[in-house]
Amino acid sequence: MPLTPELRAAMYRQMVRSRAFDDAMIGLYWVGKSPIFAFANGPLPGELHCSNGAEPVGAGVCAALDADDMITADHRPHHVAIARGVDVMAMTAELLGKKTGLSQGKGGHMHIYDARVNFASSGIIAEGMGPAAGMALARRLQKRPGVALTFLGEGAANQGAFHEVLNLVGVMKLPFIAVVQDNEWGVSTSKKESTAVARNSDRASAYGLAGEYVDSNDPDDIYLAAERALARARNGGGGTILELRTARLAGHFMGDQQAYIPEQMKQTDPIPPYRAKLIRDGVLTEDAAAAIDAAATAEIAEAVAAAQAAPYPDPSEAYDHVFAEGAA
């Protein structure tokens, strides 16, 4: 699909929706907490890993997908989930532990699941590699269309699952894309101190895969690279490691003060430059961009209000849905 003005405006909309969502979740997260007791109870229980800075990855890749494509994501999934079309009302309720959530409040923010758009995430590092490869193999055996993508950080590329699965993908030439989001930091460890190669995409040659590195946190560039990887997978060319330079504007988790990051290494917010670019290119006017921003804020505010008003699941339901119906 060409990179049309309509598509570019839609990607901007997904970016600001994701940012509005994360900003709202950050506000809710700190209610009843402090940096010293960051994991205490409140309206948003547990940990929170925000996507601020990585929005172009979700917007750019997901704009290139078809309905049949499948996604697994990691513990920082909001930007991908929102761009993929996960139900934002139900996702907000899920983060607040409410019965109206995607998994009736039992999954939380790292375990977002929406079968309607073939999306799932996990808090286990590189856990999504195997299930995504299995999805790709299943579609081949079923003779059904669909490419499987897994989103992970550059630190996860040092996990054994990453290499084991990519070897299998290479052997079987599965329609599979590993989207490596390179924000330079694995928790508090810099990439250069933890990874022997400068580019994880270069590792593709070890498994007979294609590898591409996008040195840009711009959704236009990311979209075009995703289109190339998807075309390769759909046409029987096998898998790709698609490594994208992105940003992490907040700490690894809420309460992370990022003292380990030198001031000169602070990263750039990708939303204002893309907004200015679209206005400069005549895709949006200032008023149109402001309207998109306002609509995103209003949408998330509505989702938060609905989630806050929703009931919690009954404690008697704690053991429901542990196994599939009919399972022994």
| Chain segment 110-121, per-residue pLDDT in tens | 999 999 999 999
Whether 146 maps to a domain, the answer reads yes
Q: Into how many domains does the chain fold?
A: 1
Helix, strand counts (H, E) of the chain: 10, 9
pLDDT of 262 reads 81
Name the amino acid, one letter, at 286: E
| Chain segment 289-327, per-residue pLDDT in tens | 999 999 999 999 999 999 999 999 999 988 888 887 765
Residue 36 predicted with pLDDT over 70: no
Residue 220 predicted with pLDDT over 90: yes
pLDDT of 125 reads 93
CB 48 within 8 A of CB 109: yes
Whether 301 maps to a domain, the answer reads yes
pLDDT confidence band for 95 (50 / 70 / 90): very high
Whether 230 maps to a domain, the answer reads yes
Whether 316 maps to a domain, the answer reads no
d(CA 184, CA 61): 20
Q: What are phi and psi of 181, to 5 degrees?
A: -95, 105
d(CA 95, CA 325): 25
Whether 327 maps to a domain, the answer reads no
Residues with Cβ within 8 Å of residue 283, at least 6 apart in sequence: 5, 8, 9
CB 194 within 8 A of CB 153: no
What CATH code is carried by the domain that includes residue 218? 3.40.50.970
Closest-CA residue to 132 (of 119, 141, 144, 145): 119
Whether 317 maps to a domain, the answer reads no
d(CA 304, CA 47): 18
Whether 324 maps to a domain, the answer reads no
Whether 250 maps to a domain, the answer reads yes
Instruction: For residue 162, give its domain range.
Output: 5-311
Task: Determine the average pLDDT of the residues in 220-243.
Answer: 98
> For the residues of 78-136, what is the DSSP string, one character each?
HHHHHHHT--HHHHHHHHTT-TTSTTTTSS-TTS-EEGGGTEEE-SSTTTTHHHHHHHH
Q: Catalogue the E-assigned strands of the chain.
A: 70-73, 113-114, 119-121, 148-153, 176-182, 185-186, 189-190, 210-214, 240-245
d(CA 270, CA 267): 9
3-state secondary structure of 268: coil
pLDDT of 285 reads 98
Task: Determine the average pLDDT of the residues in 260-264.
Answer: 82
∠ at Cα 132 (129, 136), nearest 5°? 135
| Chain segment 6-29, per-residue pLDDT in tens | 999 999 999 999 999 999 999 999
Residues with Cβ within 8 Å of residue 209, at least 6 apart in sequence: 166, 169, 170, 238, 239, 240, 241
